[in-house]
A and B are shown apart, each in its own frame.
Chain A
């Protein structure tokens, strides 16, 4: 690593000489006050974002909130109007082939490669990268080994999407962008896909994921960023987002006169008391906290 780059990072961090931290060289992605306007629509209105090396970061938000615009600026597809962006230490607007070799992009649904088989498509793309993963290994990783000789237009939606991911991870990227990877999946395919993403993360890949599914963000993400009306309104772990971790729990059960519930800071105590009252099993006992979806919807509502 060259010293100039370190100097640049520490300047950005605002702390001279500080090399490690939220905004230091640990950041695979660093965004400050990013803006982008289409006509009179301010699609991105000052986004700040830091994604650490090795983490899975989920960007969630309603349609039109600026998720895809943001991600496509990071991928180098779109030019920004203002702000600072560094992806793997480089401004995507001035990125070259060396930089592109270090990232992997899985776009929203595509329907290309109709005539090629997964093996053929991967073998072609492998030639673009300096140190690609072996094609067979990638096929195995995404679970397409059985379909490696099937033309892409004969694959099911889920298999097709796994081919997209295979092409995204083929170049052995340090950072993988996944734009709504499981839209249109059935629950079983989605769960299999999550396993794949966890495997990739385990191999050290940093992952930026956009999704509409709170369950997906909750299951996969180390941290979640909520984007609404072109701004990041919250960033936290899924369990802590929007004060979720500190929120009151709701204990519910069936009492003699029907369903009952109580909100409490000490659910264990309430359950113990209930157990004593009922002298054993409490009918239909449940302890719940606000779901990620609950706090998300609350935030989106507040932002609009």
Chain B
């Protein structure tokens, strides 16, 4: 029977803690996710390092591995956020998990905060692994001054925020959970090829550079190069500089676009479920 005094709903903090626990448990128990989202960039670093890990320079004073680690960290952030969510959320929608959640009193924000914490957690582990392997195996040098680490911080934060929002928005694209990896992974791989991860960006055809400049990854790799490459290497950039202002602007625009798309398109049920 209805009573006027009902027990208060749990606080957002309580629910969010439960969501974070569920996200982390599910992620680290799912081998596919751990291998493809978390470890794949690390594996690529080792493979490329083994093949191209000599001391040949891509620019004066810039060994290939120094360049590659900067790009791979950016690609790792893309993997931890965009690939992770754009694959995982369609599966959660398909299995009925999202529908089940939306039938509970759980605040919807707790779900998204849980995803953000998961992305952050994976990104940190992955970045630490990439840096550690780069430094220990391939002689990558870390920036010494605080200013560069500050740049690292905001580029990583803006990059991961934009890719998280775009990943959540993109989760409405695959028709079902099974097709999600087949749609999302090629996009990520293609972006890596044209955004200066596997190839030196300035050596790519101009049209490819122009295409890449539409998407966040190109700006994330550029930002990471400004952290890990000497300032002299700016001359080799197509724009002749690190373009910090433009990096921040493009990534911020993607954050807004991603957020608007999320708000307009996010569904708790599958399309066939009406």
Q: A110 touching B105 by the CB < 8 A rule?
A: no
> Contacts A38-B274, A112-B92; is A76 near B26 (CB within 8 Å)?
no
User: Judging by beta carbons under 8 Å apart, are B104 and A171 in contact?
Assistant: yes
With A2-B4, A112-B100 as known contacts, state yes or no: A98 contacts B18, CB within 8 Å. Answer: no
Chain B residues whose C-beta falls within 8 Å of the C-beta of A114 in the assembled complex:
30, 95
CB distance from B21 to the nearest CB of A (A): 7
Nearest-neighbour CB distance to chain B for A28, whole angstroms, equals 10
- B-side binding surface: helix, strand, loop or mixed? loop
* A120 engages B103 (CB within 8 Å): no
Shortest distance between the CB of A42 and any CB in chain B (Å): 15
A179 to nearest B CB, angstroms? 11
Assuming A116-B25, A124-B22, is B2 touching A5 (CB within 8 A)? Answer: yes
Closest Cβ neighbor of A111 among chain B residues: B95
Contact in complex: A116, B105 (CB < 8 Å): no
Nearest-Cβ distance from residue A294 to partner chain B, whole angstroms: 34
Contact A112:B6 (CB < 8 A) given known A120-B25, A128-B105: no
Decide yes or no: A110 and B97 within 8 Å by CB, A75-B103, A78-B274 being known contacts: yes
Assuming the contacts A98-B105, A112-B95, A127-B17, asked whether A167 and B100 have C-beta atoms less than 8 A apart, the reply is yes
In the assembled complex, B218 has its CB within 8 A of some CB on chain A = no
**Count of residues in A whose CB is under 8 Å from the partner chain:** 40
Docked Cα-Cα span, A53 to B102, in Å, equals 24
Proximity bits, A151-181, B CB within 8 Å = 1, else 0: 1000000000000000100010000000000
Closest Cβ of chain A to B3, distance in Å, is 7
In the bound complex, do residue B104 and residue A88 qualify as a contact, i.e. CB atoms below 8 Å apart? no
How far apart sit A114 and B25, CA to CA, in the bound complex (Å)? 11
Residues facing B in A105-155 (CB within 8 A) are 105, 107, 110-116, 120-121, 123-131, 151
B29 contacts A by Cβ under 8 Å: yes
B1-29 contacts to A (CB < 8 Å) = 1-4, 6-10, 14-15, 17-19, 21-22, 25-26, 29
Residues B19 and A124 in contact, CB atoms below 8 Å apart: yes
B96 touches A111 (CB 8 A): yes
Beta-carbon contact of A110 and B100 below 8 Å: yes
Question: Within the complex, which residue of B2, B8, B18 is in contact with A127, where a contact is CB–CB below 8 Å?
Answer: B18
Whether A1 contacts B3 by the Cβ 8 Å rule is yes
On whether the beta carbons of A53 and B9 are closer than 8 Å, the reply is no
Contact A88-B2, Cβ < 8 Å, known A107-B99, A128-B104 = yes
* Pairwise interchain contact B96-A76, C-beta atoms closer than 8 A: no
Interface residues of A in 1-17 (CB under 8 A from B): 1-2, 5
Which of A38, A53, A124 neighbours the largest number of chain B CB atoms within 10 Å of its CB? A124
Query: Are B95 and A53 within 8 A (Cβ)?
Result: no
Q: Are A100 and B26 closer than 8 Å at their CB atoms?
A: no
Chain A, 79-115, contact with B by CB distance < 8 Å: what is the 0/1 string? 0000000001100000001101101010100111111
Shortest Cβ distance from residue A153 to the other chain B in the assembled complex, whole angstroms: 10
B105 contact from A111, A167, A171, Cβ within 8 A? A171
* Shortest beta-carbon distance from A207 to chain B in Å: 16
B106 contacts chain A at the CB level, 8 A cutoff: yes
C-alpha spacing A116/B21, complex, angstroms: 11
The 8 A CB mask of A247-278 against B (1 = contact, 0 = none) is: 00000000000000000000000000000000
Contacting residue for A98 out of B9, B21, B26, B274, CB 8 A: B9
Contact flags B75-111 to A (C-beta < 8 A → 1, else 0): 0000000000000000010011101101111110000
Q: How far is the CA of A101 from the CA of B10 in the complex (A)?
A: 10
A115 touches B7 (CB 8 A): no
State in angstroms the CA–CA spacing of A88 and B3 once bound together.
11
Q: How far is the CB of A34 from chain B (nearest CB, A)?
A: 16
CB distance from A128 to the nearest CB of B (A): 4
Chain A residues lying within 8 Å of B106, measured Cβ to Cβ, are 97, 128
Q: List 10 A-B contacts (CB under 8 A).
A: A1-B3, A5-B2, A77-B102, A97-B9, A100-B104, A110-B96, A116-B22, A124-B18, A126-B18, A151-B29
Closest 4 CB pairs of A and B: A127-B18, A112-B97, A110-B96, A130-B7
Using CB atoms and an 8 Å cutoff, list the residues of chain B in contact with chain A: 1-4, 6-10, 14-15, 17-19, 21-22, 25-26, 29-30, 92, 95-97, 99-100, 102-107, 269, 274
